[in-house]
């Protein structure tokens, strides 16, 4: 099959192991609260994504994690091995219509977009005022009315491609609505069984994204 476009998640797919949030929450001293309490509640459906994300960002601000510290975490964020190879191969074999779709923050997504020379993205915005972040978030992607299914449709329209001829590589619970929109979904190290059930292909214990080359 020849794909018209590619949509990639960022946290967990391009940047492994939720690097940004682990580092940021560790600086804030809130790692146990966010990853030990609220993240399991999110997976169990007890809180929604906006609550989880907004609480994490608010606590960064309340615990005086500086904007410079956030930017340093972003600059040091590792790209998963094989990502560049996978993206470059997709460009050569299929199309340069490649987009990042993330429920994470623009500070990380924009940096990854620059590093991989990707032209399209949709994510949430860390609100800024007077040169510093406010602790609030402007949402464009969540798990409710701005879910990733709608986000995928928006990106496909922007790229000028048929969603049914698009490949997506994702890993999170919030990616489930996308599975009903794009033609092919590969779940890489899926965080939740619901995504495993919805994705066309499920791959576990993936460390190098070039392992996916056989699917393109």
- For 7-27, write each residue's pLDDT tens digit: 999 999 999 867 788 889 999
Residues 83, 41 within the same domain: no
Residues 159, 63 within the same domain: no
The average pLDDT across 165-178 equals 94
User: Count of domains in the chain?
Assistant: 2
How many Cα neighbours within 13 Å face the side chain of 118? 29
* Enclosing domain of residue 66: 19-76
The average pLDDT across 109-120 equals 97
Distance CA 176, CA 205 (A): 20
Residues 6+ apart with CB under 8 A from 52: 34, 38, 39, 41, 42
Whether 127 shows a pLDDT value over 90: the answer reads yes
- For 188-209, write each residue's pLDDT tens digit: 999 889 999 999 999 999 999 9
Residues 98, 175 within the same domain: yes
Indicate which CATH number applies to the domain containing 158.
3.40.50.1000
pTM here is 0.92
The average pLDDT across 156-169 equals 98
- Sign of the CA dihedral with 203 first, then 78, 191, and 159 last: negative
């Amino acid at each position: 099959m020849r794909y018209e476009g590619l949509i990639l998640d960022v946290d967990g797919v391009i940047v492994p192991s939720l690097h940004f949030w682990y580092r940021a929450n560790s600086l804030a001293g809130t790692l146990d609260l966010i990853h030990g309490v609220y993240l399991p509640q999110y997976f169990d459906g007890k809180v929604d994504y906006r609550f989880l994300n907004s609480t994490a960002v608010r606590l960064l601000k309340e615990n005086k994690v500086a904007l410079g510290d956030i930017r340093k975490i972003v600059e040091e964020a590792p790209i998963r091995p094989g990502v560049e190879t996978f993206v470059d191969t997709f460009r050569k074999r299929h199309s340069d219509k490649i987009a990042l779709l993330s429920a994470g923050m623009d500070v990380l997504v924009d940096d990854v977009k620059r590093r991989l020379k990707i032209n399209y993205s949709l994510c949430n915005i860390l609100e800024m005022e007077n040169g510093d972040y406010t602790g609030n978030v402007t949402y464009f992607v969540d798990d409710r009315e701005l879910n990733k299914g709608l986000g995928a449709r928006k990106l496909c329209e922007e790229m000028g491609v048929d969603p049914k001829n698009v490949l997506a590589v994702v890993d999170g619970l919030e990616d489930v609505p996308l599975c009903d929109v794009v033609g092919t979904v590969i779940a890489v190290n899926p965080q939740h069984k619901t995504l495993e059930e919805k994705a066309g292909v499920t791959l576990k214990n993936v460390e190098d994204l070039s392992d996916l080359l056989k699917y393109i």
